[in-house]
Amino acid sequence: MLATCPFSKKLEQLVDSVEAAPPSMAFPLMPVGQACDMGHGADGVPLIDPRIFDSWEFMRNPYPYYRIMRDHYPVFRDKLHNCYYVTRYQDVTDCYFDDEGFNTIPKGSSSGVLGNTQLELSGIEHKRRRNLYGQHLVGQSLDLRIPVIERLADEWITGWDQQAWEGTAVRDKNGVRTVEIGKAFANEFPISVVCGVLGFPDEARGQFYYWYNSMMAGLGGSETQKQGLEARQDLEDYVGELVEARRIKPTYLLDKDGNQVGKDIISKLCETKIDGDYLSTEEITSNIALVVGGGGETTRGAILNMWYLLLQHPDQFARVLGDETLWDAVFHETLRHSTPIGGQPRHNSFDLTMHGVHVPAGSLMNMVDFSANRDERIFKDPGIFDIFRDDLYTGKLLRSGFAGEGRHSHMAFGVGPHLCPGAWIAHQEATIGSRILARRMKNPRIRVSDMPKDIDGVSLAPMGLISVRELWLDYDLA
């Protein structure tokens, strides 16, 4: 039970200290890693004001508040937003694997724009759809996509020579190239890859960017949903023509020498059956929309976060330059330390009690991957970025997760039946793209003068709940 008197007094002090700020800003901006004081209960336990979740302080500095929740409110009831937060690693893991007790994602969170995707399915129906990805986005099938990823990464970086002096994202001066990696690479490179491995013609790439950007924006709310729905319908119309053609004549991915290495994903989906029936055009379009989301936005955030963190740890970066196989460890540690994916919502099927908190059936429960990845019960000194930590699993992504030999997998993609279907291709895009970037940039370093600063006006801004949006780098021209 939260005591109200100390909390009320503390809240009055906070509000008085920022009278000119809007309600969501009525919390002081604290040094990273420190929580503002919202009062204490009669038992001395720190209190949590749910309005903190709408504040800029929480967006930029969430982890000390998640630690309070893990330590004192592992299942936190947020009456303001009418939901529950599950914040400990083991609890999040158990919920992800319990497909009967937590077997539905809240309806309507994606279907309006993306269509009838597996995100909002469960049980047998979800399993059937899920198996489609096992055929096309993992193992040997995924390895066939590597030449496409390598070729497109090289094309994007080579294109900087033509962009220099012509755009704001790339500029040269006195033997140094300044490049904003987001605009010049990370924002569109993953979309190009997804476009290529799916099997869209090269001439459709520009249109593909429109579909992707509009649908992703359409998930954000009613103001942009109309544009997202229009883009989704335009995508379905275009895919319909491709599907009819591919059902008759499949197309293939090519290696760097122009040799066929396997059918593209659209061609494979066209010949796929569920319960004896071929997938409909709408089902194929929905699968494509889901792959686009998982392999696009996630990869963009992963690449920018990887470079932002690694370049702030030059000793680790030097080790990576000497051993390219370490990019896998960089990817995993980045997604543990600062994942671009915050978590997954669930509705519980039955009444339950967790850590003494009663949760009625049908409640909105947020599985907070941000918090699980920083759980001190699992990872030592979780706030420290260390690609050589011995408690993090950095091998092949597993739907079952990994827990053994003193190591655990990160929770950025979840685990269990609803592990992100774009996880494997995001891993390949981020590591292969970063490997090629490192080969092509000599002595890269963050252009600190062009980057946002923290509250001291000097330190680089923390990521918090938001992945890096822009990353300005300098590197020496050969």
Question: Per-residue pLDDT for the chain (478 aa), expressed as one digit of tens each?
Answer: 333 444 444 434 544 443 444 444 479 999 999 999 999 999 999 999 999 999 999 999 999 999 999 999 999 999 999 999 999 999 999 999 998 898 766 554 455 666 555 555 555 555 556 656 556 665 566 677 788 888 889 989 998 987 766 678 999 999 999 999 999 999 889 888 888 878 888 888 778 778 777 877 776 566 777 888 888 788 888 888 888 889 899 998 777 777 887 788 888 888 887 778 888 887 787 777 766 655 567 888 999 999 999 999 999 999 999 999 999 999 999 999 999 888 888 999 999 999 999 999 999 999 999 999 999 999 999 999 999 999 999 998 888 899 999 999 999 988 887 777 778 888 999 999 999 999 999 999 999 999 999 999 999 999 999 889 899 999 999 7
Name the residue ranges covered by the structural domains of the chain: 62-476
Long-range contact list for 378-383, CB < 8 A, 24+ apart? 378/89, 378/90, 378/408, 379/336, 379/408, 382/336, 382/337, 383/33, 383/63, 383/337
Burial of 38 from C-beta contacts in 10 A (0-12 / 13-18 / 19+): buried
**Per-residue model confidence (pLDDT) at position 236:** 80
Q: For the chain, report the end-to-end CA distance as a whole number of angstroms.
A: 64
Q: What is the spatial distance between Cα 105 and Cα 438, in angstroms, rounded to a whole number?
A: 39
**Per-residue model confidence (pLDDT) at position 383:** 97
Q: What predicted TM-score, i.e. pTM, was given to this entire model?
A: 0.86
All residues at 6 or more sequence positions from 258 whose CB lies less than 8 Å from its CB, including other chains: none
Ramachandran region, residue 402 (left: φ > 0; alpha: ψ -120 to 50; beta: rest): beta
**Per-residue model confidence (pLDDT) at position 104:** 63
**Per-residue model confidence (pLDDT) at position 5:** 43
Instruction: Give residue 378's Cα distance to chain centre.
Output: 21
In contact, 362 and 106? CB cutoff 8 Å = no
Beta bridge partners of 252: 263
Q: What is the dihedral of CA 260, 420, 190, 331, to 10 degrees?
A: -100
- Could you give phi then psi for residue 40, rounded to 5 degrees? -135, 150
**Per-residue model confidence (pLDDT) at position 370:** 96
Q: What is the spatial distance between Cα 345 and Cα 366, in angstroms, rounded to a whole number?
A: 4
Helix, strand and coil in the chain, % to nearest 5: 50, 15, 35
**Per-residue model confidence (pLDDT) at position 343:** 86
Ordered alpha helix ranges (H), 367-406: 369-372
Beta bridge partners of 372: none
Count Cα neighbours of 123 within 13 Å in the Cβ-side half-sphere.
5
In contact, 426 and 359? CB cutoff 8 Å = no
Instruction: Pick the closest to residue 227 from 215, 239, 238 (CA basis).
Output: 215
**Per-residue model confidence (pLDDT) at position 281:** 80
CATH architecture of 62-476: Orthogonal Bundle (1.10)
**Per-residue model confidence (pLDDT) at position 273:** 79
**Per-residue model confidence (pLDDT) at position 123:** 57
Q: What is the spatial distance between Cα 433 and Cα 430, in angstroms, rounded to a whole number?
A: 5
